[in-house]
Amino acid sequence: MDPTPPRPRKRFGQNFLHDPAVIERIVAELSISTETALLEIGPGRGALTRALLDYASKVVCVEIDRDLVRYLRDTFPASRLHVIEDDALEIDFDRLGRQVHGRSVGWTVAGNLPYNISKPIAMRLVESVESIERAVLMFQREVARRLCAAPGGADYGPLSILPRAVYEIERVMDVAPGAFRPRPEVVSTVTRWSAREERPSPDELERLRATLKAAFSNRRKTLKNNVRRALGSDAVLGQAGLDGSRRAQELSPEEFHALAAEWPKVR
């Protein structure tokens, strides 16, 4: 007899995907081959996991809920599904590759992300880009809009710029609440991430992160005011060739990279 699936837990923000059409689209976007090092974040009850195993010889998954870990291990053979009980925000992706595959790998990541960790997970992927080739991830639609936003709008901010410095990020499709159990109150969006071949160094990324934090510290204030508050001077604006009377949401990603190049080194 099959094991009984655990009930969803609110503290983990669990909404389990069950719609076959959505699952099929996610699998198609992953472009799985026999060589794919496949990692699923938050497999839940394993609906997407089951579909992944139809294409991949082995899947690694990270699940924080111990009851779901037990259920997954009882449901799928250990030779096909390697279940790790851990917090995805704490995973060292390079170490995980060496642990499971005996070498560093470029992971392909899939996940229906709990809404309460979606932004921290996005930042974790930025930090771990050397170990990740591509990802197909589901976010709350509002978060996905921020990830894909263009300059000038209310959605545009650090989440629009920092991840896209190292990944190309594209919207794939919206997913209605009825695709999940329990049914969430919001619409979700599937996004596709592809690691850029040319990307900033870790030091450059840290400067960009510090630049964005300062520039967007108060969206109503000008760049000059926000930069002065952070650095005590606005000299970096002139060095970057930027008009300090503009607001952060008006700058293009390229202009932020120019500003970050002049930003003091982050200690």
DSSP 3-state of 207: helix
Which pTM value belongs to this model? 0.93
The answer to whether residue 1 scores a pLDDT higher than 60 is no
| Residue with the larger pLDDT of the pair 114 and 212 | 212
39 bridge partner residues: 60, 109
Q: Which amino acid is at 41?
A: I
| pLDDT for res 87 | 94
Give the pLDDT confidence of 54-107 residue by residue, as tens digits. 999 899 999 999 999 999 999 999 999 999 999 999 999 999 999 999 999 999
Render pLDDT for 121-168 as a digit per residue (tens, 0 to 9): 999 999 999 999 999 999 999 999 999 999 999 999 999 999 999 999
Query: Domain 202-262, what fold?
Result: Helicase, Ruva Protein; domain 3 (1.10.8)
What pLDDT, in 10s, does the model give residues 6-59? 665 665 567 889 999 999 999 999 999 988 999 999 999 999 999 999 999 899
One fold for 10-195 and 202-262 = no
CA 16 to centroid of chain Cα atoms? 18
What is the per-residue pLDDT for 14?
73
Look at the domain 10-195 and name its fold. Answer: Rossmann fold (3.40.50)
Residue 249 clears pLDDT 80, i.e. is over it: yes
pLDDT surpasses 80 at 235: yes
Please state, in angstroms and rounded to a whole number, the distance separating the CA atoms of residues 171 and 169: 7
Residue 69: its pLDDT value, please?
96
For residues 64 and 31, give the distance between their C-alpha atoms in angstroms, rounded to a whole number: 26
- pLDDT on residue 12: 58
**150 contacts 156 by C-beta, under 8 angstroms:** yes
Sequence spans of domains, the chain: 10-195, 202-262
